[in-house]
Structures are given as structure tokens and as C-alpha cells.
Amino acid sequence: MPIVSTRQLHRTYLQGEGEVHALDGVDLDIEPGEFVALMGASGSGKTTLLNLIGGLDRPTRGEVQVDGHALGALSSGALSRLRLDRIGFVFQAYNLIPVLSARENAEFVLLMRGVPADERRRRVDATLAAVGLEGLGDRLPSALSGGQQQRVAVARAIAGAPALVLADEPTANLDSRTGTELVEMMRRLNTEQGITFVFATHDTKVEERARRVIWMEDGKVQRDERRG
Amino acid sequence: MRSPSANPHAPTTPAVTSAGSAPLQAWLTLLGLALRNLRRNLRRTLITATAIGGGLGLVLVAVNMNEGTYKAMMDTAISAQAGHVVIQAAGYQADPDPLRLVAGARGVAETARAVYPEARVVQRSRIAGLLTSPANAVGAGLLAIEPSAERAVTDTHTKLSAGEWLADDDDRGVVLGEELARRLKVGVGDKVVLMAQGEAEVSSRLLRVRGLLRTGAVEIDAGLAVTTLACAQAFLERPDTANQISLHLPSAEGTGPMAASLAGSLARAELEVLDWEQALPEVVEFIRADRVNNAVTMGIIGIIVAIGVLNTVLMSVMERIREFGVMLALGLPPRQIAALIVLEGTLLGAGAAAAGLLLGVVLSWPLVTYGLDYSDMLGSESFETAGVVISSTLFATWDVGGMAGWTLAAWLMTILSTLWPAWTAARLSPVDAMRHV
């Protein structure tokens, strides 16, 4: 069963007196364990699609299913719970909670879920090790480089063992080398842990490492390319 | 396509179709986060807490000072004007006619002493009349007392500025307020004539000035004359009578039931027995009205401070809109975002209220212990308010209930100030919030 499924997904925004069709009938299935890059120019609908898959926004028309749940049927609270339990997010601007240390940021979702302390410690230790942040757990985000902050964001996204990680331009604020390292790391997590990643990106480094690239234009899927 | 491998971190999470209730751990996490958020902009937190705590501290000082002033007024009014329990002729409270007298006053006083041995019992009469001297005639209120018994319940004798105090059997002596004597142009040893309504017609009696009083309150010093109960009885030709028999007790508490009990013991329908609140309605009403007035004033100050707090909290929310958007995206329900902000207000309010309470105690302590001397400002050692002469040195009194109430109110006010910002944050759309710059 697909982890993500969209059917005739439309999202229209009002702009002035006119309408902007950010998404215009997107049909898409993403299987568990995929490493997918949504590519396209700015305004092509990548981020809008990611927001709808993540339940951060509601479609104007159409349907999204994530992990077997039709998002349109979920209440706001249930949608929050789905995000907390099943979806990890990585944002372009890292968006860490500034008053929490790297470790606490990674632990945040687990704390909010009520995961017991021992289990939490085990998961966070493993996650910080997986993203190469051993020894940096006590640092506040302000004491970390951009690359390290984005690693913390990845750790936060995967620490709760989500069914799906949605990453919106995760390498956009990083230099080329750091960006490459980060993509490699997420690719490794995908391979080793089977976590499904869906990226919205312009970055060719991501595209090169993706096993599936979906090209978008004017809110539609132009090309869906699966790689070996 | 590669087939997906098993995820070693198999989720052990509850069903997602129900919002469920957040675990205690989530609330503790929010509490910790709220504390850190307050520390994040420590200067702003301290300034806000100082505004709340400083305002509260000053309100508590005012509460204690007001309560001290009320206590001084009540104590003075009770001792000088009435008593904790007062026995008088029925109807005297409504119409204080000097001729409404308690007959057999000594016997009534003895009964009162027998029922309440701890009470100091004095008899008093009041005569409103005209005092005349060869130089002038001035309207005055004569208070007729038992001088030796009165010493135990009032300090009027300590206000003597010239001459000597009255003797119990001195039925011609009078002590005048300094200003009254000045207007009459008389001094110690001079004669004055009292003219007032007697039993059937206007009567007069020659009195000799034994001493002069200076209370410090101009209105009192210009109108007060003190004579003996013996003098009043002789003037009215009504021996063993008094307008009031007043009982002075160690405490003003519980005097209502005592008055009722004493009325039962006396069993005389022609008498009324009142507690001090019934006997001094003007003073009680003044204090009640002043309390309400002060509460309204302090409440307005509280609202002004609350608006300031609201502004600060709202500002701190607007600065963190993006952060709230991220939290919403991570799966925090809107109610927990709102709870985070309310928790910040709760912690800030608790800290500020505790600091304000401490400040109030520290600032009130010298006022309770040493008082605040207004004599230079007022130009006298005492002053009159609501017909009661009290010392110009005012002492604060610990009003524990009032302090607790205002401290709690300051805390609640801070929490209430966060509700609107919390509601604003809870209504954010995660997508819009994360786009916020």
C-alpha cells in the first residue's frame, strides 16, 4: 500500500481578484522506503504539494492519503496527532527551537508523544550518532553551524521513527559540500532504516541521489522518473 | 525500485484518528519550555515582572496603610464615641435627644459588668447647647463622662494642654477645646454658662473652666467641651441617668452576639443594645465606601498594568510566530501552543506576584512597626476624618486577607493577559506561520 497517495489534488489561492492554481490535479503514489525528489521551478507547486501531504494545508479539491489515513477526514487534532506520530519535517531554514539544545530538539517530538525516558534516550543517542552529531548534543542551535543545525533538524525528523519525512529545500541554505554531506546522510538513513523521504528541491545534488524524481510545472506532474 | 527495508524504529504510537489527551510528560515539557522562553529575553521578563511586582508591592503597602487607618478610626471611634457594645434608651440611635436617658444607669452598668467581667464599662451623656462667656457665645457639644472610669478607655485626658483633668464629683467643672476657649475668650479658672434644652424649658448652669484640650483637629478643638456625668445629671435634674452605657472589650470581634446576649440579660424593653457597627454607622459606612473606592482605584491601576503585560506578551508571541508554526507542523495541537503561552504567563505572574508580596511585606514592615508621621505635613499631632480624631502618625496593619487577595489577583491578571495572545497563536495556520518573517 502506498505511504502517500494523492488523487486529483487541487490547491487554489486567491491573489488579488484572481486565482492561482498552485496544484492542478496531481495524482501520485509514493511507496514506503522511497527517496523522492520533487523538482521544478519556483511556483511549480512543489512546496504546496509537500504541505498538503504533510497535512499542514488543506486541498481545495481532491484527496490525500498518508499511511492509510485520508487527511480530509481527520479533525485538526487528529491531523496534529498524525504529524506528531507519523511524519517528520525538515525545513529550509532549519527551524529548530532556539531555547532547546540539539539533543532536546531531537527529543522534542518523543517528549510530546510521551515516550518513556529510557526509550527516548536510546532513540536520541542512536539518531544523533546516525546524523554525526555525537558530542554536540548539549549545544544550543545558536552554537552550531548551518550544516550542524540541519543535521539536528534531520535528527528531530527521524527520531520518532516516522513513516515519512518531508524535506522542503533542506540544502538551500547550506554550502555545496555541507549540502552534499547532508543528502548523503539522508540517503544512508533511507537505505539503512527504510525511512521514506520526499524532498521539494532545486538542488541537483538531491536529484542525482534520488531514486525517483518527479518534475513539476504549473501545479502539475510533468514527468515521473524512477531510477535504479 | 528497491523494496523498502524494515524500519528498526518501529513506531509504537497510538492511533491517529483520535486527538487523544497529551501525556503528563508533554505538559512538563511545555512547562520547561515556558521557563526557558522567559529566560530567553531575560531583560524583558524582568521589566515586566518588575512592573507587576512593583505595582503589587505598592498596592499591598496601600492596603496595609488603609487597614491601619481604618483600625485607628474604628478604635478611636469605639473608645471615644461609642463602645464595643452600647446600651441606650430605645430610639436614641435614630434621634439622639439628650433627654432620651437610661434610668437607673448605675444598675445597668453593674449588670453589664456582671455579664461581661472583662469589659470596662463607662456611662456617658451628651448635651448640645450654647456656652456663653462675658465676651462671646458659642455653640458646643458637651460630653459628660465619668472622668476616672473614662481614663481606662480613652486618651482624652492626655490631650490636656492647660489646667487639670476633671474629678468624678466635680458637678461644675468643664474642660474646653483650646479653640473653643479662644473664641469664648476664657482661660483656666474662668466661668462659662451652659444654656441648653432642659426637661421642660431652656436651662442654664454656671460652669468653671478646669482645663483646656488640644486634640490637634481644629473642628474638634473648636466645638468640644467635656464635663462630668454628675454635672449633666444635675443640669438635667435626672440623677442616675446617662445617654449611653458603653462596654469596652479587648477585641472588636464577635460583638454582635454579645450585644444580643446582653439585651437578653437586661430584659428591658425601653433599652436598645447595639454592637459598635450599629452604634457607629457613619464610621462603618465611611470605611466601607473608602474600601470600595480604594479597590476600584487599585483595580484600574491593575487593568493599566494588565494592558502593559498584554502588550508585552503579544509582542513576544508575534516575535515567535514562525516558531509556533514549526511546533504546529511537528504535531503540537493548537491547544498546546496556547497552553505554552498561558504557562509562560502563569510562571511570570507567579514570580512577579511572589516578588510583589515580598516587596509589600518589606515596605510595610517599618510602617507597621514605626508608623508614618504626617504631623509636619498636616501641621498637627492629630486630624479628623469622618468625625473621628486620629493621630497624625498612622500605623499600617497586616491585612493578611487583603494581601493574599491582591497577590492572587495580580497573578490571575497576568494569566488573563495571556489569553488573547494565546488564542491568537492557537489560530495560526502552520503554513502561514512558517512563512512569517
Q: Considering only alpha carbons, which residue of chain A is nearest residue B10? A: A161
**pLDDT score, position B11:** 42
**pLDDT score, position B133:** 93
Tell if the CB–CB gap between B4 and A83 is shorter than 8 Å: no
Cβ atoms of residues A8 and A27 within 8 Å = yes
Residues of chain A under the 50 pLDDT cut: none
Of A77, A89, A114, the CB nearest to B333: A77
User: Residues with Cβ < 8 Å from A64, sequence gap 6 or more?
Assistant: A4, A5, A6, A9, A52, A53, A55, A70, A71, A72
Of B16, B323, B429, the CB nearest to A85: B16
Q: Tell me the nearest-neighbour CA distance from B327 into chain A, angstroms.
A: 9
**pLDDT score, position B22:** 63
Q: Mutate one of A112, A124, A197 to test the B interface: name it (highest B CB count within 10 A).
A: A112
Tell if the CB–CB gap between A69 and B323 is shorter than 8 Å: no
Please give the single-letter amino acid code of residue A98: P
- Residue A191 within a domain: yes
Q: Is B200 on the interface with A (CB under 8 A)?
A: no
Q: Is B9 on the interface with A (CB under 8 A)?
A: yes
Question: What's the rounded mean pLDDT across residues B186-201?
Answer: 89
Asked whether residue B254 carries a pLDDT value surpassing 70, the answer given is yes
Please give the single-letter amino acid code of residue B102: V
Between B216 and B290, where is the model more confident?
A: B290
Of B3, B24, B331, the CB nearest to A80: B331
Q: Mutate one of B31, B330, B343 to test the A interface: name it (highest A CB count within 10 A).
A: B330
Map grid coordinates 528497491 to a residue: B2
**pLDDT score, position B215:** 81
User: Residues with Cβ < 8 Å from B421, sequence gap 6 or more?
Assistant: B310, B313, B314, B316, B317, B341
Asked whether residue B200 carries a pLDDT value surpassing 80, the answer given is no
Question: What's the rounded mean pLDDT across residues B276-290?
Answer: 91
User: Distances from the Cα of A74 to the Cαs of A28, A77, A184, B432, in angstroms?
Assistant: 20, 8, 35, 20
Cβ atoms of residues A113 and A160 within 8 Å = yes
**pLDDT score, position B45:** 93
Residue of A119, A48, A105, A90 whose CA lies nearest to A195: A90
**pLDDT score, position B14:** 42
- Residue A62 within a domain: no
SS (H, E, C) B195-241: EEECCCCEEEEEEEEEEEECCCCHHHHHHEEEEEHHHHHHHHCCCCE
Q: Is B333 on the interface with A (CB under 8 A)?
A: yes
Please count the other Cβ atoms lying within 10 Å of the Cβ belonging to residue B390: 22
CATH number, domain at A82?
A: 3.40.50.300
Tell if the CB–CB gap between B11 and A84 is shorter than 8 Å: no
Q: Tell me the nearest-neighbour CA distance from A134 into chain B, angstroms.
A: 19
Tell if the CB–CB gap between B26 and A113 is shorter than 8 Å: yes
Give the total number of structural domains in chain A.
Answer: 1
Handedness of CA B234, B237, B239, B242 (dihedral sign): negative
In A203-222, the residues whose Cβ lies within 8 Å of chain B are: 211-212
Tell if the CB–CB gap between A32 and B333 is shorter than 8 Å: no
- Three-state DSSP class for B94? coil
Question: What are B317-367's pLDDT values in tens digits?
Answer: 999 999 999 999 999 999 999 999 999 999 999 999 999 999 999 999 999
- Residue A220 within a domain: yes
Map grid coordinates 436651662 to a residue: B203
Q: Is B236 on the interface with A (CB under 8 A)?
A: no
Cβ atoms of residues B237 and B58 within 8 Å = no
Tell if the CB–CB gap between A85 and B11 is shorter than 8 Å: yes
Work out the burial of residue B219: count CB atoms within 10 Å of its CB; fewer than 13 is exposed, 13-18 middle, 19 or more buried. Answer: middle
Question: Hey, which residues does B225 pair with through a beta bridge?
Answer: B142, B176
User: Residues with Cβ < 8 Å from A61, sequence gap 6 or more?
Assistant: A8, A9, A10
Between B216 and B247, where is the model more confident?
A: B247
Asked whether residue B17 carries a pLDDT value surpassing 80, the answer given is no
Asked whether residue B291 carries a pLDDT value surpassing 60, the answer given is yes
- Residue A203 within a domain: yes
Map grid coordinates 502563569 to a residue: B346
Cβ atoms of residues A21 and A10 within 8 Å = yes
Q: Is A100 on the interface with B (CB under 8 A)?
A: yes
Q: Is A32 on the interface with B (CB under 8 A)?
A: yes
Cβ atoms of residues A121 and A86 within 8 Å = no
Between B274 and B9, where is the model more confident?
A: B274
**pLDDT score, position B21:** 56
How far is the C-alpha of A24 from the C-alpha of A10, rounded, in Å? Answer: 5
Question: What's the rounded mean pLDDT across residues B256-276?
Answer: 89
**pLDDT score, position A218:** 93
**pLDDT score, position A199:** 92
- Residue A196 within a domain: yes
Cβ atoms of residues A187 and A209 within 8 Å = yes
Question: What are A82-111's pLDDT values in tens digits?
Answer: 999 999 999 888 889 999 999 999 999 999
Q: What's the whole-number average pLDDT of chain B?
A: 89
- Residue A56 within a domain: no
- Residue A174 within a domain: yes
**pLDDT score, position A138:** 93
- Residue A57 within a domain: no
- B contacts of A87 (beta carbons < 8 Å): 331
The domain containing residue A212 runs over which residues?
A: 34-51+77-226
Asked whether residue B266 carries a pLDDT value surpassing 90, the answer given is no
Reported for B156-161, long-range contacts at CB under 8 A and 24+ positions apart, including other chains, are B156/B80, B156/B213, B156/B226, B159/B213, B159/B214, B159/B215, B160/B211, B160/B212, B160/B213, B161/B211, B161/B212, B161/B213, B161/B214
In B121-160, the residues whose Cβ lies within 8 Å of chain A are: none
How far is the C-alpha of A207 from the C-alpha of A214, rounded, in Å? Answer: 9
User: Distances from the Cα of A164 to the Cαs of A30, A88, B41, B331, in angstroms?
Assistant: 10, 6, 35, 14
Q: Considering only alpha carbons, which residue of chain B is nearest residue A112? A: B26
Catalogue the E-assigned strands of A31-80: 35-39, 61-66, 69-70
Q: Is A51 on the interface with B (CB under 8 A)?
A: yes
- B contacts of A76 (beta carbons < 8 Å): 333-334
